[in-house]
Chains A and B, each alone.
Chain A
Amino acid sequence: MGLMLPWTWFFLGYGIIPLSTGTLYDKVWELHRVAELPGGQTQLFIGLHLIHEVTSPQAFAMLKEQSLRVRHPERTVATVDHIVPTTDQGRPLADPLAEAMLSALEKNCADHGLRLYGFDSGRQGIVHVIAPELGLSQPGMTIACGDSHTSTHGAFGAIAFGIGTTQVRDVLASQSLALDKLKVRRISIHGSLAPGVFAKDVALHVIRRLGVKSGVGYAYEFSGSCVAAMAMEERMTLCNMAIEAGARCGYVNPDQVCFDYLRHRPCAPSGAAWRRAVTWWRSLASDGDAVYDDQVTMDAGEIAPTVTWGITPAQAMAVDEIIPAPNQLPPGERPLAQEAYRYMDLQPGEPIAGTPVDVCFIGSCTNGRLSDLRDAALVVKGRQVADGMKAFVVPGSQQVAWAAEEEGLDAVFAQAGFEWRRPGCSMCLAMNPDRLEGRQLSASSSNRNFKGRQGSASGRTLLMSPAMVAAAAISGVVTDVRTLLGNAEDTRTGPVE
């Protein structure tokens, strides 16, 4: 964007480092800039590289073909999540293809000296859940992973984005990437969320308002009083979905909420280093006079529990609205809407509430964290899932599972008729045995309602918050969770009693 950044100097106790001004994105970009490349791209240093079993094996094969080694083995961290079964995780895995992928990851990590959080580590889980909970994801870092939801880590004030397999090879070989700088759009969300409205609803609302391609070429900075009041897990949900708006990365400026979350995490700095880290992290937040390429403002009070009705995350609506008719949509969106009505077998002009649901899935890197399970458990507690409903909970990580079990959430779910599973991506993308059958309709706390996403070529997905999925499981139909919450004061915090 041609913004020339003046250099200032920042004193960090051990010396001075150059610090640029502007948005957090500008500052982090400047600090990580290695070189300008002939094609006009920038070579950017990558601070943290996360890998998993699906998008890395071909990268290691390319490395071998080209006789390259891993430049910074200490900066790549691996886990297994996409293909893992959520019932029996004994080795060898029942699916030979899944076992081959896991074995390949283990071998590649051993060959190159990379840290792998496998089943027996006690820390395995979805890559975007474990890196934050280990304290690996930190403000001011550049974070890359062969997975589009890497935007999640932007919640910490990092520049985090998904990459393809050839780029995974580039990071392994050089700890850097050739990239084009993005523009920055500030999305300010002001006010507070009503009871029964969650970060997932905010994310779906933003995508619905701005569309699935508005973010192409942009990083989204989420700010405003609503975002400032969010806990880290809520910010992760919001940044996770930035990619569904087309934005390769989303971020929130680091603040005390972020530092409090990171404090005492296994991989976070400690002692004197912690104090130096916090000083540096604070200095990275966007300056008051930073220049944005675009700004959008939204009112949190307008956001209702939101649910998708179509085949992209932008085809979303408040749960108490009626499915939009073609003439209520911009002309450019009408063909896709027609395709969606047909595929979803939903009628414009009808309410979405009351639509019968076959499968309820709570989990994924969007909503598989402890607070998500608490939100859902609050709805489920003392109730029973509807007859014939298949309902299951897949914690985002082993740490989440143990913390939830410690609080008794597993029992709350089990007593209501939910299955309590082992951690993994599960039916978010159905590369494991958890999948829809035929035309089944799922209420899902994951992030993509694309055709065929949940393992059946004709399967259908309604995206919503974990609490809304819980409400659907209990009622058997799409239900406004607010009708089940009674007058619970603040539904967004605290363990279930």
Chain B
Amino acid sequence: MTPAPITLVEGRGIALQGHDIDTDRIIPARFLKSISFAGLGNHVFADDRAATGGCHPFDRPEHQGARMLVVNRNFGCGSSREHAPQALRRWGITAVIGESFAEIFASNCLALGMPCLRGEAGAIGEIQQLIQEQPGVDFCLPLATSTLHGLDRHWPLMMESGPQTMLLSGCWDATGLLLSHGDELRRTALRLPYFHNFASTR
């Protein structure tokens, strides 16, 4: 099973301001009590949303159906739970744009084919402001150029070449690729002393 290439993300934006938003906030631990990811979309930011009584961006009617989440620094820090990108994805998000991302979060997003792109603080601020003032604006993000377009404006964004190539070529789901190196896997294992319990001959 080869995943499809992802070349373009389009849709309305949703802005979520704040630094260091952790995965416990994206999806609180009690919703992890399940053996599947089904239904997580309903609970994204559950506690933050309850605390703001319906004013949270994910609750506002104008943002329903939004595709691009725009965040600030160190988004997705903390727990490695893939439930966080899964919940965002199942709510409808298909790309995340921010000042910076926690590493495990970004690699979990990649594994779902959901690009994370970085932008300068100034650019992110402008995009967030535009979304707040005109939530109906449609954005378009071709991954080959990593440039966000909306309302005749353009913001250059950044993505590491690895993830970019993987998304564009459709090999972001790594399993097939990893399994295709059976001989190399065997050779690597053989040169690791602990693989043989440090046996004196092999």
**Contact present for B47 and A457 (CB under 8 Å):** yes
Say yes or no for A336: interface residue by CB 8 A criterion: yes
Say yes or no for A100: interface residue by CB 8 A criterion: yes
Say yes or no for A178: interface residue by CB 8 A criterion: yes
**Contact present for B82 and A335 (CB under 8 Å):** no
* Cβ-defined partner of A164 (8 Å) among B81, B163, B169: B81
Per-residue CB proximity of A292-306 to B under 8 Å, as 1/0?
000000000000000
Contacts of A97 in B (CB 8 A): 33-34
**Contact present for A276 and B198 (CB under 8 Å):** yes
Contacts of A175 in B (CB 8 A): 185, 189
**Contact present for B30 and A431 (CB under 8 Å):** yes
Within 8 A of B (CB), among A143-179: 146-148, 161-167, 169-170, 173-178
Most buried by A among B22, B160, B193: B193
Say yes or no for A429: interface residue by CB 8 A criterion: yes
Contacts of A57 in B (CB 8 A): 35-36
Say yes or no for A141: interface residue by CB 8 A criterion: yes
Within 8 A of B (CB), among A438-465: 448, 450-453, 455, 457-458
* Cβ-defined partner of B192 (8 Å) among A14, A15, A47, A82: A47
Quick check: which of B72-80, B125-133, B146-154 contacts chain A, the rest being far away? B72-80
**Contact present for A66 and B1 (CB under 8 Å):** yes
Question: Given A58-B35, A335-B18, A246 and B81 touching (CB < 8 A)?
Answer: no
* Cβ-defined partner of B169 (8 Å) among A17, A39, A55: A39
Say yes or no for A45: interface residue by CB 8 A criterion: yes
Say yes or no for A382: interface residue by CB 8 A criterion: no
Question: Given A31-B191, A39-B166, A45-B192, A452 and B108 touching (CB < 8 A)?
Answer: no
Question: Given A55-B81, A140-B194, A212-B77, A34 and B185 touching (CB < 8 A)?
Answer: yes
Contacts of A212 in B (CB 8 A): 20, 74, 77
Q: Give the CA-CA distance A35 to B184 in the complex, in Å.
A: 7
Which partner residue on chain B sits nearest A277 by CB separation?
B198
Say yes or no for B8: interface residue by CB 8 A criterion: no
Contacts of B174 in A (CB 8 A): 37, 170, 177-178
Contacts of A180 in B (CB 8 A): 160, 162
Per-residue CB proximity of A40-83 to B under 8 Å, as 1/0?
11010101000000110110010000101001100000000011
Contacts of A164 in B (CB 8 A): 80-82, 85, 104, 107-108, 111
Which partner residue on chain A sits nearest B121 by CB separation?
A332
Contacts of B22 in A (CB 8 A): 312, 448, 450
**Contact present for A174 and B163 (CB under 8 Å):** no
* Cβ-defined partner of A216 (8 Å) among B47, B100, B201: B100
How many residues of chain B are within 8 Å of chain A by beta carbon? Answer: 71
Q: Give the CA-CA distance A146 to B79 in the complex, in Å.
A: 9
Contacts of B82 in A (CB 8 A): 55, 58, 146, 164-166
Shortest A274–chain B CB gap in Å is 8
Which partner residue on chain A sits nearest B17 by CB separation?
A335
* Cβ-defined partner of B80 (8 Å) among A163, A339, A429: A163
Shortest B142–chain A CB gap in Å is 18
Say yes or no for B4: interface residue by CB 8 A criterion: no
Per-residue CB proximity of B144-182 to A under 8 Å, as 1/0?
000000000000000011111110010101110111010
How many residues of chain A are within 8 Å of chain B by beta carbon? Answer: 87
Contacts of A71 in B (CB 8 A): 185
**Contact present for B24 and A17 (CB under 8 Å):** no
**Contact present for A173 and B178 (CB under 8 Å):** yes
* Cβ-defined partner of B193 (8 Å) among A98, A276, A450: A276
Contacts of B29 in A (CB 8 A): 429-431, 453, 455
Per-residue CB proximity of A257-294 to B under 8 Å, as 1/0?
00000000000010011101100100000000000000
Say yes or no for B43: interface residue by CB 8 A criterion: no
Contacts of B77 in A (CB 8 A): 212-213, 246
* Cβ-defined partner of B178 (8 Å) among A174, A273, A274, A430: A174
Per-residue CB proximity of A102-127 to B under 8 Å, as 1/0?
00100000000000000000000000
Contacts of A421 in B (CB 8 A): none
Q: Give the CA-CA distance A40 to B1 in the complex, in Å.
A: 22
Question: Given A138-B194, A448-B78, A34 and B202 touching (CB < 8 A)?
Answer: no
Contacts of A47 in B (CB 8 A): 192, 194-195
* Cβ-defined partner of B32 (8 Å) among A32, A54, A167: A54
Say yes or no for A2: interface residue by CB 8 A criterion: no
Contacts of A430 in B (CB 8 A): 29-30
**Contact present for B18 and A339 (CB under 8 Å):** yes
Which partner residue on chain B sits nearest A147 by CB separation?
B80
Shortest A195–chain B CB gap in Å is 32
Q: Give the CA-CA distance A422 to B69 in the complex, in Å.
A: 42
Say yes or no for A217: interface residue by CB 8 A criterion: yes
Contacts of A166 in B (CB 8 A): 82, 108, 111-112, 173
Question: Given A101-B35, A162-B104, A339-B18, A273 and B199 touching (CB < 8 A)?
Answer: yes
- What residues of chain A have their CB less than 8 Å away from a CB belonging to chain B? 12-15, 17-18, 31-35, 37-41, 43, 45, 47, 54-55, 57-58, 61, 66, 68, 71-72, 82-83, 95, 97-98, 100-101, 104, 138, 140-141, 146-148, 161-167, 169-170, 173-178, 180, 212-213, 216-217, 246, 248, 269, 272-274, 276-277, 280, 312, 332, 335-336, 339, 429-431, 448, 450-453, 455, 457-458
Q: Which 7 A-B pairs have the closest CB atoms?
A: A164-B108, A164-B82, A166-B111, A57-B35, A162-B80, A457-B47, A273-B198
5 example contacts (A-B, Cβ-Cβ < 8 A) are as follows A38-B177, A39-B171, A97-B33, A148-B80, A177-B174
- What residues of chain B have their CB less than 8 Å away from a CB belonging to chain A? 1, 18-20, 22, 24-25, 28-30, 32-37, 46-48, 50-51, 73-74, 77-83, 85, 100-104, 107-108, 111-112, 160-166, 169, 171, 173-175, 177-179, 181, 184-185, 188-189, 191-195, 197-202
Further pairs besides A100-B35, A140-B193: 18, Cβ < 8 Å: A14-B200, A17-B193, A37-B174, A38-B171, A39-B163, A39-B166, A41-B162, A66-B175, A148-B80, A164-B82, A164-B85, A173-B175, A175-B189, A213-B100, A273-B199, A276-B193, A450-B22, A451-B24
